[in-house]
Structure 1
Amino acid sequence: MIERVLAIRHDKIGDFVLYWPALFLLKSALPKASIEVFVAPAVQALAEACPYVDHVIVDTGDDKATSQKFIERNYDAVIVSCSEFRIYKMIRHLDSAYKLAPKHNWYQHLYKHTADAQYKQGEACWRGGCMLVEHFLTQHGIDIPELPQQYWDLSAERQKWRSYYGQEGNEKLIFIHAGTGGSSGSLSPSDFANLSTNISDKTQVDCKFVLTYSGAEEELAQQIFDQLSKKSIKVVMAKPLSSLADFAKSIVAADMFIAGSTGPLHLAGLHNIPTVGFYAGRRSAPIVRWQTLSHSDRRLSYTPPIGKRTGKNMSLIDFNAVEKDVVAYLDANYA
């Protein structure tokens, strides 16, 4: 009987968010087992808020102490989704009956159990984590559950957070996060401001724009705020919340989330919120690989022309097409 499983995913925020489908499969298939994760410090609060996680171990950098914690937890299985030689050294002495790692890098040969975790062309990268879990469940004769329509149901908190962001009457809250990170591209504050202005002017929906930011991103948000305020567009600066988990929860208030940063986009995807994402134009297709967890009909994604000279120039995006698509979505779903 499997009573305790450790899943190792100690990298960036967006990567951990895209691991939620795999965690859902584990918890749904093994409801009585303790599903535990090893994560980076920046992800701790979000991991603790995840409904599919029962215990969190944080990567402090002290590998010897962490290995001792692993031993004390007495795992029946370890699934290494973020594989490094360092991780192998931390878990090699565990008495766990089953240790599974992906088939990449030379140290895969040090594991007794390995599986293909390479998502196929045209698939999103979150499939990789699911492939490992599916292999684990199949090898143990456990049925693979169906994935849900939505990974984080916080509908009961929606009105609370809408009030927090100042929603009034029939206003629809359009969140904009102007920072950049991961495989998304960086739009200029002017591009965001012009896009917001045209959306507000053309849609039948009563919009209020909520500008979210963290740290140095405040300057970008302020520039957008100043430009929209001059045009009498309804806009607010969203004061950062005290923790990543609170921010992630608060996104349930959004009616649409527009960003050039994969982390916040992925958080919105957990709530199945309509997302508008901007990605670099690369042949590796980050627009597909890093797509959000929102339903396909709730994902609007754009890139500049693919190429070495054009792929990173976000000003080359066809903003007329973006405006047309966003307005059409808002009018069809909210007007």
Structure 2
Amino acid sequence: MSRTDRLGDVVLTLPLLGLLRQRWPGAEILFLTRQYARPVAEACAHVHRVVEWPDHHAATAAARAALLRDTGADTLLHLFPRREVAIAGRDAGIARRIGTARRWYHWLTCTERVNVSRKRSALHEAQLNLLVAAPLLHQSRLSLAELVPHAGLTRAAPLDAAWASRIDPARCTVLVQPLTGGTVPAWPLERWTALARALDPSRFQLFVTGSADEGAQLREWLRSLPAHVEDATGQSLALLLSFTRAADCFVGASTGPLHIAAALGVPTIGLYPARESGLPARWEPLGARTTMLLQAPPPGGDHATLDISAIDVDEVRREVERVARER
């Protein structure tokens, strides 16, 4: 199973792994991914082994082929088409190699090609994964509700004592991810500030998550927030998995951590723009308790130019308070 792109894409691949385990109960599932996404693959109950794809350019074609040959795999499924992986799979002598017919190099490197176009499809990303994997499945068209139980993100380690001691069980623990790394529109920081001030400190505690670099960007802003908001940026991905599993709610845009929270079964509130590439129809987080707040386009507005800044603070607050009532 090859998925060497972004974190959210890796998470949305997990339900397919559960379906493959059902279809091929005796098979060993190997997950080829980048180093930074390894903790997610390791936390999935359907994955037997994780294989790290080398990100550095120093890796030779021969070394890449040897990496895949040494796995002993007899099938390679290209869920994220990448020429270097396709060439390595062919040169490694993997017998069955499946990928989309929409990449010219797959005609030279794959033994089976599936005519799937992600760009022109209205299906969810997880459903598109099933179409690419159709040669390995009994059924390749399932609803999102049918996919949710198959994620298998159940191996996150228990939260360590130092972080667990920061959680007040008497209050609703809300994780918020203000920044997005530029991959999708971000809700403005002033909206996050207003949300924090609107949530009762006696009932809520908020933890701001993000990478170490994002934490540095947010340092001055974090100092301006009320006392019930704490800095949790700079965690490792493994720790973020554990911390998210211990939380009561996650709020953020369509980034990897949002998809992780949904797959862990944590109530998740996603903030989405009203434009084609970011619509929940394609990138909705898969989980039993997810809510999408979508900025509506103005009358006659151009969908392509919209961001999420107009999503109302009170609307987000109401959703967070609903989660607190239901926990």
Q: For residue 128 of structure 1, what is the aligned residue in structure 2?
A: 128
Maintained 8 Å contact 1:74/1:95: no
Structure 2 spans left out of the alignment, 5+ residues: 140-145
Shift of 1:148: 5.3
Q: For residue 142 of structure 2, what is the aligned residue in structure 1?
A: none
Farther-moved stretch of structure 1 (210-219 vs 12-21)? 210-219
Q: For residue 4 of structure 1, what is the aligned residue in structure 2?
A: none
- The residue type equivalent to 1:279 in the other structure is Y
1:103 aligns with one of 98, 101, 104: 101
- In structure 2, distance between residues paired with 1:200 and 1:220: 26
Maintained 8 Å contact 2:272/2:292: no
Maintained 8 Å contact 1:175/1:254: yes
1:271 counterpart = 2:268: no
Shift of 1:237: 1.4
Q: For residue 74 of structure 2, what is the aligned residue in structure 1?
A: 76
Q: For residue 281 of structure 2, what is the aligned residue in structure 1?
A: 288
Shift of 1:10: 1.0
- In structure 2, distance between residues paired with 1:282 and 1:115: 28
1:228 counterpart = 2:250: no
Farther-moved stretch of structure 1 (303-312 vs 257-266)? 303-312
Q: For residue 143 of structure 2, what is the aligned residue in structure 1?
A: none
Maintained 8 Å contact 1:183/1:286: no
Maintained 8 Å contact 1:178/1:192: yes
Maintained 8 Å contact 2:249/2:268: yes
Maintained 8 Å contact 2:215/2:233: no
Maintained 8 Å contact 1:287/1:303: no
- In structure 1, distance between residues paired with 2:42 and 2:156: 19
Maintained 8 Å contact 2:20/2:136: no
Shift of 1:192: 0.3
- The residue type equivalent to 2:308 in the other structure is M
Maintained 8 Å contact 1:280/1:311: no
1:238 counterpart = 2:208: no
Q: For residue 214 of structure 2, what is the aligned residue in structure 1?
A: 217
- C-alpha change, 1:301 and 1:116, in structure 2 (3 Å) is farther
Q: For residue 40 of structure 2, what is the aligned residue in structure 1?
A: 46
Shift of 1:94: 3.9
- In structure 2, distance between residues paired with 1:25 and 1:162: 37
Alignment map for 1:308-323 (pairs within 5 Å): 308=302, 311-323=305-317
Alignment map for 1:2-21 (pairs within 5 Å): 7-21=1-15
Shift of 1:235: 1.9
Identity within the alignment, %: 23
1:27 aligns with one of 13, 21, 31: 21
Structure 1 spans left out of the alignment, 5+ residues: 1-6, 140-145
| Secondary structure of 2:98 counterpart | strand
| Secondary structure of 2:85 counterpart | helix
- The residue type equivalent to 1:79 in the other structure is L
Farther-moved stretch of structure 1 (248-257 vs 55-64)? 55-64
- In structure 2, distance between residues paired with 1:121 and 1:82: 16
- C-alpha change, 1:156 and 1:74, in structure 2 (3 Å) is closer
Shift of 1:13: 1.4
Farther-moved stretch of structure 1 (219-228 vs 264-273)? 219-228
Shift of 1:135: 2.8
- C-alpha change, 1:121 and 1:327, in structure 2 (3 Å) is farther
| Secondary structure of 2:70 counterpart | helix
Shift of 1:45: 3.3
Farther-moved stretch of structure 1 (208-217 vs 147-156)? 147-156
1:254 counterpart = 2:247: yes
- In structure 2, distance between residues paired with 1:96 and 1:155: 31
Alignment map for 1:107-256 (pairs within 5 Å): 107-110=105-108, 111-118=110-117, 123-138=123-138, 147=147, 149=149, 151-153=152-154, 157=158, 164=164, 166-181=166-181, 183-200=183-200, 206-219=203-216, 221-229=218-226, 234-238=228-232, 240-241=234-235, 243-256=236-249
Maintained 8 Å contact 1:25/1:133: no
- In structure 1, distance between residues paired with 2:168 and 2:107: 59
1:325 aligns with one of 310, 319, 322: 319
1:299 counterpart = 2:296: no
Shift of 1:123: 3.4
- In structure 1, distance between residues paired with 2:95 and 2:41: 25
| Secondary structure of 2:180 counterpart | strand
- The residue type equivalent to 2:152 in the other structure is Y
Shift of 1:265: 0.5
TM-score, length-normalised on structure 1?
0.80
Q: Structure 1 residue runs of 4+, over 6 Å off? A: none
1:113-136 deviation line (CA, Å, top 9, x unaligned)? 122444696532121222233431
| Secondary structure of 2:170 counterpart | coil
| Secondary structure of 2:225 counterpart | helix
- In structure 1, distance between residues paired with 2:49 and 2:26: 13
Maintained 8 Å contact 2:208/2:230: yes
